[in-house]
Amino acid sequence: MTLALIAGRGSLPARVAAAQAEPPLVCVYEGCDPKGLKADLTFRLETLGSLLAHLTAAGINEVCLCGAIDRPQLDPARLDARTAPLVPQFQAALASGDNGALEVIKTIFEEHGLTVVGADALVPGLVVTAGVLSAAQPDDQMRRDAARGAAVLGGLAALDIGQACVIGGEQVYGIEAIGGTDHLLASLPERVRGARAVLCKGPKTGQLREIDLPTIGPDTLRAAHAAGLAGVVVAAEGVIVLEQERCAALADELGLVLWVRGDVA
């Protein structure tokens, strides 16, 4: 065994594990249990130093960070001796935006001799190519909204605050922040329901693909439908779509457009 999954919530960790010829060591962040995958061990931010020592001793040389983990709060009272020297790096990460924080985490793993590998490198086909996956096709307004969404996400990249936004009639109804896409969709104003709005999701400029590729799945489509949206638009070659066939069928069932938008709309 040479691969460890640093796993969080959702079905992505199980998908990555199932694709490996040899079962990886599954290390689950406390309170963020993945779907369909049993933890070999659990850890917290305050015990990361001990986890790194364990991985090294076990002969692990690659790690894949996959699944959702909320930004943690550091509890000094729970620090163990191996983790205490990492506190200055933790403080820098917790004070940074998403990309900045993940850069620090990636550096910590690499400084301990571990190569960080992206889920898309371990599971071919996770990242989708351009095309419309649903039977419903984007109309002219949706194409304008998708272009507006791409521009908004491009502007947000410098602020390092999110990977998604909701656009309807070329108006911005919401942007993703610390609560993630689920919170964005759950907190949209009621008037979005009459706007045939779309969720737009894609990687930021400088996105750390090895750690934080944007991801959608069936739950995203259900949440978009519940919010009254008309479609979900993701950037080609930059977003993981879990259960692609199920997502396409679900989009049809819910009457949504599911569009993987390339560079040329």
The ranges assigned to domains in the chain are 3-122, 131-261
Q: By the 8 A CB rule, do 18 and 76 touch?
A: no
Token pair listed for 240: 């993981």
- pLDDT 10s digit of each residue in the chain, 265 long? 699 999 999 899 999 999 999 999 999 999 999 999 999 999 999 999 999 999 999 999 999 999 988 778 889 999 999 999 998 888 877 776 666 677 888 899 999 999 999 999 999 889 989 999 999 999 999 999 999 999 999 888 777 777 899 999 999 999 998 778 999 999 999 999 999 999 999 987 767 777 878 899 999 999 999 999 999 999 999 999 999 999 999 999 999 999 999 964 4
β-partners of residue 7 are 28, 66
Of 12, 11, 3, 214, nearest in space to 98 by CA: 214
State the Cα–Cα distance between residues 73 and 81, nearest whole angstrom.
18
Answer whether 3-122 and 131-261 agree in fold.
Answer: no
Q: How far apart are CA 240 and CA 234, in angstroms?
A: 9
Tell me: domain 131-261, CATH 3.40.140.80, correct? yes
Report whether CATH 3.40.50.20 matches the domain 3-122.
Answer: yes
pTM beyond 0.95, yes or no: no
